[in-house]
Structure 1
């Protein structure tokens, strides 16, 4: 299973999101620290979940980071997170 697929699966199982988007942005970081030629090192996650209702931005990021601790300890060098509750406007 690809790293992108593992990230999506873990977040979906834990957060039951109404919307999720996992983007592999590794190609944008070629030649930078942590980049590997095969990619799957730099990701952007956009997730909307009721699990984030009433939860501050920092705690949302902590929750996502905890869910993806294995990936962050291994193949993932960078993770950008946009985590929102369904009642919040804007992206994702």
Structure 2
């Protein structure tokens, strides 16, 4: 199985973190919109009390997990279609 979606999603997570770390996202708008761990931090705690590097790692890992689950679903769908054909 090829992990194309996992790689693409991981690169999205890395790009999101790099965009925020370079200062082009000064109010953390994109990080807050596209980072799943940040959603939970905003709901259950204060965003300013969390280490930003820890959030970057969690963001990349969550995007990689989303890609991996997508790859697994794609592979399962393709294997089912091959069995019925």
TM-score when scaled to structure 2?
0.31
TM-score when scaled to structure 1?
0.29
Higher share of residues assigned strand: 1
Q: Which has the larger radius of gyration?
A: 2
